[in-house]
Structure formats: C-alpha cells, structure tokens
Amino acid sequence: MTAISRVGVAARYSDLVIKDGVAYFSGYVPETTLGGSVTEQTKDILDQIAQSLAEIGSDKTRLLSATIWLSDIGSFDEMNAVWDAWVAPGHTPARACVEAKLADPDYALEIQVTAAL
C-alpha cells in the first residue's frame, strides 16, 4: 500500500493530498483581489496555482484536470481570456466550468486542479 501525503491539514480539508504521483489540490479563491474583476481574480488564482505547483516540483504542463466554478457564467469569456493566456499550449488539462453560488459573494470564481508530480 502506497503512502498518502497530506499538506495543510485542517478540520474539514487538506490544502493538498498526494497519492501515487498525483497531487490533488483544494479549491483556490482570490487572495489579493477579493472583490476585484474576473480578470484580476483569475490571474490571482492562477498565480497561486503556479506557485503551489512549483513548491511540489511540478508545473502547469503537468496539470491533469481543472474544475472552475464561476459565480456568474456570463463572465465565462473574460475568465477564458486569462486562462487561455496562462495555460501551456499542448498541455491543456481535462476541464469543466460551471456556474455556482460561491462561499463568499466577493468571489468571482474558484479553481481546483490536479497535477502529476
């Protein structure tokens, strides 16, 4: 049986769980752009994801999947403009994007990813 590593363990969730060479991240929400535009919040979140990937020796070319929750599906194109500029061509992950009511009304979106180490 292979080990399961957990990082940032809290009562309800872990920030990251690693098993069999796959990193499962919790959802990312804006840190420095709360209440900002969808463009600003998307850049903020993608910067966080890139940093987290680097910390475990991975990068955006190793993304396996992404789930994006938008508070308003009308912002889909705005978010996609930032996503498309950020994602590595030829290394796009499996992805889903839906509209959802998020935990804080100032969140425009939340993104969760999995990545190979």
Give the tens place of pLDDT for each residue, 11-49: 999 999 999 999 999 999 999 999 999 999 999 999 999
- The angle, 0 to 180 degrees and rounded to 10, between the axes of the packed helices 76-86 and 38-55 is 30
Cα–Cα dist 46/2, whole Å: 30
CA distances from 8 to 11, 12, 74 (A): 10, 11, 33
Give Cβ neighbours of residue 105 (< 8 Å, ≥ 6 apart): 71
**Can you give the pLDDT at residue 62?**
99
Q: Which domains does the chain have, with CATH numbers?
A: 27-116 (3.30.1330.40)
> What Cα–Cα distance (Å) separates residue 24 from each residue in 16, 18, 56, 83?
6, 6, 11, 19
The stretch 55-72 carries a mean pLDDT of 99
pLDDT at 41 (0 to 100): 99
Say yes or no to pLDDT of 56 above 90.
yes
